[in-house]
Structure 1
Amino acid sequence: MTDIRFPDGFLWGAATSAYQVEGSPLADGAGVSNWHRFSHTPRMTHNGDTGDVACDHYRRWADDVALMADLGLRAYRFSISWSRVFPEGTGRVNRAGLDFYERLVDALLERGIAPNATLYHWDLPAALDDRGGWLNPDVAGWFTDYATTVFRALDDRVPMWSTLNEPWVVMHAGYMVGEHAPGHRSTWEAPRVSHNLLRAHAAAVRAYRSIGRNRIGLVVNLEPKYAASDRPEDVAAQARAEAYMNRHYLDPALLGRYPDELREIFGEAWPAHADAEAADLREPIDWLGINYYTRSVTRDDPSDLPVREGRVRQDRHTHTEMGWEVHPPALTDVLVWVRERYGDVPLYITENGAAFYDPPVARGGEVDDPLRVAYYRDHLRAAHEAIRRGVDLRGYFAWSLLDNFEWSAGFAKRFGLVHVDLETQTRTPKRSARFYGDVIRTHGAALGSADG
């Protein structure tokens, strides 16, 4: 039996995003974001929940950084609110908003916690949404101007940057099915949004190369697809599903071409100029972030447009409160798949975690969350197995540091390592937080043996 040990220098962290934790969305001169607008629209979120307070991180950031240090985190992945820095999306810089992130970064560094900053985690300035948002070809320039301002302010202290978080969710949830801001439902809009997201990513990376001194990457959510049977129809559905979600952004960003299946999926809605411009979307990055939560067993389903694939529920396995199957081996599979398809780009697991029912805080001040402990244990073992199989995996960020605003699900789903009382904002580390701290302290040995 061999004890698990992660490589020297492996980066251990946790992640959040601005609208989910900060609160105070209009404080100190910040502008309205599309998510502020969306969450204040009736029936768009569970129970009408909004991010107006969220975890009050905008005011409690110093205590939260101290909490991170107490848990033993070596890195913190957070996002920057575009509308906090540019209230109108372009033009005037809100110095007070930028100062907030300067204070946060300085506090992290004082505690020995490496900042990992995401430029876009779904909250677009509403002023830009009014001008078409991600449908407007000018958005790549708007994004680059915003990114350049933030680079100049923080790059001397931020060692890791990412341009976009989960562009697939921006496209699919925001423009295809309408579950996220801005709430559109259009097969015609979706591929144009994808193309503009990728144009913005590539332009921001090019801008960073001219002024930046550290590392920049892209973060995608990947959901491994497995055919439900060997029937040709199911195998074809698996290929379409994989292209739609997993290769949709990686192929253009890393290979300079779109998957052939996308033209079949979108049909006449596919923009011809996207193929002609795909080579310009390939811009070398320093690292790739992978957000993994679950897998999908797929079958052919002509009624489920536009991909024509249906998910086959795997009832023999545990499912999270989000309805997602818990299947750690798929994490190993997807990491190996990325290496085999795209080469040895340095990888980080930038989100991994689970929403489970949490019992009330006990008198002793702890939340016992055994399912989440098991989730982290088994997925970290799966990550280690990928390293054993030759994947250049350099870090892991648990999602999420805090129970937070879970987008359209409001506060109904809790992913946090740390319990947040929504009435008092009291933070209480869960047993999973202490477990993760032990993993960090022992460099993986707390996971047990590789054979266990």
Structure 2
Amino acid sequence: MELRFPADFLWGAATASYQVEGAVTEDGRGPSIWDTFCRIPGKVYGGESGAVACDQYHRYREDIRLMKEAGIQAYRFSIAWPRIYPEGKGPINQKGIDHYRNLIEALHEAGIEPVVTLYHWDLPQALQDQGGWENREIAYAFARYAQTCYEAFGDRVSKWITLNEPFCSAYLGYAYGVHAPGIADIHAAARAVHHLNLAHGLAVQAFRNSGKKGEIGITWNLVIPRPATRRPEDLKAVERVIDRDNRVFTGPVCGKGYPEAYLASRGIRMPVEAGDMDIISTPIDFAGLNYYSEGAVRWNEHAPDSVEMVPSWEPVTDMGWPIVPRGFIRYLRWLRDETGGIPLYVTENGCAVQDRPVVDAAGHERVHDTERIAYLRSHFKALQEALEEGIPVKGYFLWSLIDNFEWAYGYSKRFGIIYCDYATLKRIPKDSYYFYRDLIAGYAE
């Protein structure tokens, strides 16, 4: 089957600041919670950090050239809050403004649209010292930071994303302790959930009041498992996961409020103040979906939240995540219904593979990542079917443009369509890079 998409469908690639930039102490950047977290023994594979990463801070022009040669039309990247406000608030760091201004101009020169994520997890450490996302005031600091970005870049950026995966910020960072700042307290996580939602709403309002043209939305990583069986209790397990992992974020933004029955069942109280829900539900222009996998669950009274993940039959990626292209369609359907049919973007999709460069007969280094190509092809077919079904997906951003620092996994997992040799920082386009090039050009099947 030929892979065919609308002529105006937007094809992009994505990265995040802490994962690719490096240069963590250069040009006035302040420390982030991830700089701190990476120094805690045992928290990150190999004791690694994003201190150098792919050095995109210095090498962005090379990466832009590679994007242009692949026909990539948009680049979704995040701004490092500590580069703009080293202390999270207070004096603006002009060198940080200049860097992103130069990056954005270079993208325009290459005919590539910049798509900016304001927060992809690198909270300034100074704000964490004041309580991080548990502290309501951080939401207002975020709104000021967002306003600064609109003023600095709003004439050259027309698509903004407030938060990337608030689930990870709140739950992985505050409930499970496996991401920065490494707290494990469900009530701390609840406070973080609400203040992240509030930060999003305040940032959307700041954009509306800025007078800048463009669109603004948010990116969610949904968790929508399928039930292990048709038994009512397994269906109940699915709904519990959706309430816990999705509706606490999507519900308030979509004007539906928090899933109060679930919260009450866990004894969780959100720190809602008067007017908060109106702020959070300020209308957005689009919603982003990050999709990688789908799992299955069953009801188990003895498991946390009475929900147990069960084994799946599908092959898995190097992350151990089942490869479920049909789940991609199910997630898109759910998000369409939850958001009322507003435009959607796939803001991340891809897979980790144990890539190895080889030298071909002509003496060129190549990376034959056939497993990634198979993953992408199956998901593009699912995406094509979703579009034919009428789901309003307007664009797709492949994760990731280049191999990078994979958070608690350090450099042990590779998601890129461009190989990064971390010793030399050399870039090597993988076979998946050329496959994506053909897809964008309309010649993939």
| 1:132-175, Cα deviation, whole Å (9 max, x unpaired) | 01000111110010000011000100111000000001111000
Equivalent residue number for residue 336 of structure 2: 339
Whichever residue aligns with residue 415 of structure 1, its letter is F
Equivalent residue number for residue 141 of structure 2: 142
CA apart distance, 1:275: 9.9
1:8-27 equivalent positions in 2, closer than 5 A: 8-27=7-26
CA apart distance, 1:230: 2.2
Q: The residue matched to 1:403 in structure 2 has which SS? A: coil
Q: 1:324 aligns with which of 307, 310, 321?
A: 321
Q: The residue matched to 1:73 in structure 2 has which SS? A: coil
CA distance in 2, matches of 1:125, 1:330: 35
The question of whether the paired residues in 1 share the 8 Å contact of 2:76 and 2:117 is answered with yes
CA RMSD of aligned residues (A): 1.5
Equivalent residue number for residue 268 of structure 2: 269
| 1:65-102, Cα deviation, whole Å (9 max, x unpaired) | 11111111000000000001100100100000111100
Equivalent residue number for residue 130 of structure 2: 131
The question of whether the paired residues in 2 share the 8 Å contact of 1:291 and 1:349 is answered with yes
CA apart distance, 1:254: 1.0
Confirm or deny that 1:360 pairs with 2:357. yes
Q: The residue matched to 1:162 in structure 2 has which SS? A: strand
CA distance in 1, matches of 2:151, 2:256: 28
Q: The residue matched to 2:272 in structure 1 has which SS? A: helix
CA distance in 2, matches of 1:376, 1:216: 27
1:192-203 equivalent positions in 2, closer than 5 A: 192-203=191-202
Aligned residues: percent identity? 42
Confirm or deny that 1:43 pairs with 2:42. yes
The question of whether the paired residues in 2 share the 8 Å contact of 1:32 and 1:126 is answered with yes
Equivalent residue number for residue 309 of structure 2: 311
Q: The residue matched to 2:316 in structure 1 has which SS? A: coil
Equivalent residue number for residue 383 of structure 2: 383
The question of whether the paired residues in 2 share the 8 Å contact of 1:257 and 1:275 is answered with no
CA apart distance, 1:296: 1.7
Confirm or deny that 1:158 pairs with 2:149. no
The question of whether the paired residues in 1 share the 8 Å contact of 2:174 and 2:183 is answered with yes
CA apart distance, 1:274: 6.9
Equivalent residue number for residue 245 of structure 1: 245
Whichever residue aligns with residue 341 of structure 1, its letter is E
Distance 1:274 1:358, change over 3 A: farther
Equivalent residue number for residue 228 of structure 1: 228
CA apart distance, 1:256: 3.7
Whichever residue aligns with residue 11 of structure 1, its letter is L
Give TM-score, length-normalised by structure 2: 0.96
The question of whether the paired residues in 2 share the 8 Å contact of 1:256 and 1:278 is answered with no
Q: The residue matched to 2:217 in structure 1 has which SS? A: strand
Confirm or deny that 1:6 pairs with 2:5. yes
CA apart distance, 1:261: 4.4
Equivalent residue number for residue 450 of structure 1: none
| 1:402-430, Cα deviation, whole Å (9 max, x unpaired) | 10000000000000000000100000011
User: Which segments of 5 or more consecutive residues in structure 2 lack a partner in the other structure?
Assistant: none
Whichever residue aligns with residue 109 of structure 1, its letter is H
Whichever residue aligns with residue 334 of structure 1, its letter is Y
CA apart distance, 1:312: 1.1
Equivalent residue number for residue 63 of structure 1: 62
